[in-house]
Amino acid sequence: MIITSFFDEDTSTLTYIVHDPITNDAVIIDPVLDYDPKASTYSTTSVDKVMNHVSANQLKVHYILETHAHADHLSGAQFLKQKLPSAILAIGKNIQLVQKEFKHIFNFKDFNENGIQFDELLDDNACFNAGALTIKVMFTPGHTPACSSYVINDEAVFTGDVLFMQDYGTGRCDFPGGSASAMYDSVTQRLYTLPDSTKVFVGHDYKPGGREVQYESTIGDQKKHNLHLNASTTKEAFVTLRETRDKTLTAPRLLLQSLQVNIDGGTLPQPETNGMSYLKIPLRKNKRQSNSNNE
């Protein structure tokens, strides 16, 4: 199979097209919709790059796969479906847990939390075909309770925000429903049980130290060298490291904009009577505000 990557510099996100070179059967993983929060405008630049590749290679896209409801970029899935109406938009069925959580946070009274926004909800360990491609679903919660990794043709696994390149480590676990303990189990009891030769394709690359973008490793490399979680890392050590690090992290720049769109399958809000669409942003008091009388 042939794996083509698309790196979005603004959100450090990797989108992948996987296709069989004989049949041209293909899947797309984690597409990006470009969004400028300053002007609150979007564009389909990243989607267009993906579609140009699909068209140029005459690919037959069977599935658009989401590894989870992303908190750092808006999904381009619905814009791809407009161009690829026969493609099935699929995600792990635990998306319902995330929908329930964020329905409450955004106070979406009429929002369905049953995953109906997606064409197909995938079960853990489910195996299905995208033409000549064989795909196995592997639930890997921790970053969110609904994260899934996809093993394709028993050759490569797409890990979303669970494993990053070994010089950067793992994804954060401090979002609602996230769990460092669950991530440790996902990595050690699921991903690290794959053959060492299995290629790993990550969901983001933040180019630590200013190096060039990297997105491919192997399970063997990860087990030996992952900065946060290698084969010798204990659960206690990982949980302490991950939770300590997460306390130092600020919220993703597009957290609120992304999640309300992505739990809805990448669908943007419907235009209102003035023709404009509106995102909903909760407003809360900063609990860390200093006491001016004492500090």
Amino acid 280 reads K
| 274 belongs to a structural domain | no
In this predicted structure, the answer to whether residue 292 has a pLDDT above a threshold of 50 is no
| 37 belongs to a structural domain | yes
Predicted TM-score (pTM) of the model is 0.94
In this predicted structure, the answer to whether residue 293 has a pLDDT above a threshold of 80 is no
| 290 belongs to a structural domain | no
**pLDDT bucket at 116, cuts 50 / 70 / 90:** very high
| 141 belongs to a structural domain | yes
Averaged confidence pLDDT in the chain: 95
Reported as a single tens digit per residue, the pLDDT across 22-66 is 999 999 999 999 999 999 999 999 999 999 999 999 999 999 999
**pLDDT bucket at 79, cuts 50 / 70 / 90:** very high
Rounded to whole angstroms, the Cα distance separating 257 from 34 reads 12
pLDDT given for residue 287 in this prediction: 72
In this predicted structure, the answer to whether residue 295 has a pLDDT above a threshold of 60 is no
Domain of residue 170, residue span: 2-257
**pLDDT bucket at 288, cuts 50 / 70 / 90:** low
Q: What is the mean pLDDT of residues 11-24?
A: 98
| 295 belongs to a structural domain | no
In this predicted structure, the answer to whether residue 266 has a pLDDT above a threshold of 50 is yes
Percent pLDDT > 90 in the chain is 95
Reported as a single tens digit per residue, the pLDDT across 219-247 is 999 999 999 999 999 999 999 999 999 99
Assign residue 75 the CATH number of its domain.
Answer: 3.60.15.10
pLDDT given for residue 286 in this prediction: 80
Amino acid 60 reads K
| 124 belongs to a structural domain | yes
| Total domains in the fold of the chain | 1
| 277 belongs to a structural domain | no
- Bridge partners of 92? 122
| 98 belongs to a structural domain | yes
Q: What is the mean pLDDT of residues 124-141?
A: 98
